[in-house]
Amino acid sequence: MTRIVFFYLTSFGTSLLGNSITAIALPLLVLFTTGSPLGAGAVAIAAAVPAAVAGLLMGSLVDRINRRTAAVLSDLISAAALLILPIVDLTVGLNLGWFIAVAVLNSFGDVPGITAREAMLPAVARAAGMDPSRLIGLRESLAGVSLLVGPAIAGILVASLEPVAVMWVTSGIAALAALLTLVVPSGAATLPGAQQRDSGSETPGSVFDGLVVIFRTPLLRVVVLLGLALAVVLAATQGMVIPVHFAFQDEVGFIGFVLSALAAGLLVGGGLFAGFGTRIPRRRWFVTGVVVVAVGFVVIGILGPVWSIFAGAAIVGLGGGCMNAVVGLTFVENVADAQRGKVLGAQNAIMTLVPSAGIGAAALLIEVGSLHLATTALVLLWIGAATLALLSPSIRRLGQVSSPSASRNSQNSPV
């Protein structure tokens, strides 16, 4: 592994680890400070919309400046935002308004940072002489590791420190990610000259071009819509179904292990793709991943013994790791380098908004019906979305690199 790849992956994993720890510690801090679960929900909602806006606006900026610079700036914004909380706590004291303000500011670091690092990948692979499929597989495995160890580290920190003190740690992790990104050579994240000029000549109104490219390109449209379905079902399962089920069983201590099982599956799925991605047709990876995810959701939906829910989560992660790697390559191969930031920013923006919808829908189904009604509806949603995606003619083009003219033609073809 070259130095470029090592520091790219290390900075990616460090940033994701910090986000994972913050996702556990921040709601607890809000809850302990305000004493209101509704307050924690208000902070989450307050962050979602600005994060989506940031994804659109900053995605366009990522295409105009060096992507390494964009990633570093995003990490520094996150570090500064998280640092505000312990400083305010030591001075004037925290209240809900401070949490909402920090959540909004932090949203302008998280999504753009993810977008910048995703957009860097083809250039990093090219500079390192590595096949992009292998680098994406390694990245997905690293995401699994971060999600696996992040909650465990958060639990240790929260148990040994006050939740507000954990923010010092997460702020430092964001700053460390910025430093690690600086070690990546600037040339590995710079647009080619002609593409840089083309990107820089666009008008400010073009921030919505990422959405236009996605929904006018059949292949991208299919994989993004399927990704939205996965985000809804996964958020509803993790954020509502599993906690309610274990609460009913008086086994709330098992909730965190479900996320660990999911992360372990992602680690294996990404690792398999990194090792064998070029030997097996892309479409076969995708179909297998979609079907495996369906099997995992069915196993979870039965709500059987604890071990079966862990197994179902691991199966979902395994399929998701394979599927996500193919989706990542699809964006690499079908989006021009000069537009990749805004297209990935648009994708990340809409993915930021949908989890709350899934959690809300699951809560409504549980309230008016039952837990099994919610799990049945979620499984049927995924199977329906997966079936429509797999029957789409555009999926047959997975793995085919679009030329500029082919891309323009495909935008006018039916799904």
- CATH number of 204-415: 1.20.1250.20, 1.10.10.10, 2.60.40.10, 3.30.230.20? 1.20.1250.20
What digits encode the pLDDT tens for the residues 209-250? 777 888 888 888 898 899 889 988 988 888 778 878 887 777
What's the first-to-final CA gap in the chain, in angstroms? 39
Percent of the chain surpassing pLDDT 70: 87
- CA distances in angstroms from 390 to 226, 278, 281, 384, 395, listed in the order given: 10, 21, 15, 10, 7
- CATH number of 1-190: 1.10.3720.10, 3.40.50.300, 1.10.3470.10, 1.20.1250.20? 1.20.1250.20
What digits encode the pLDDT tens for the residues 250-307? 776 677 778 788 888 888 888 888 888 778 888 888 999 999 999 999 999 898 898 9
What digits encode the pLDDT tens for the residues 105-123? 887 787 788 888 888 888 8
Q: Where are the alpha helices (DSSP H) in 239-305?
A: 242-248, 255-276, 282-301
Residue type at position 85? L
Structure-token pair, residue 16: 């994701």
- Does residue 250 come out as left (phi exceeding 0), alpha (psi in the -120 to 50 range) or beta? left
Question: By the 8 A CB rule, do 153 and 256 touch?
Answer: no
Domain ranges for the chain, please list them: 1-190, 204-415
What is residue 318's predicted lDDT score, i.e. its pLDDT? 92
Decide whether 1-190 matches 204-415 in CATH topology. yes
Neighbouring residues of 396: CB distance < 8 A, sequence distance ≥ 6: 283
* pTM for the whole structure: 0.72
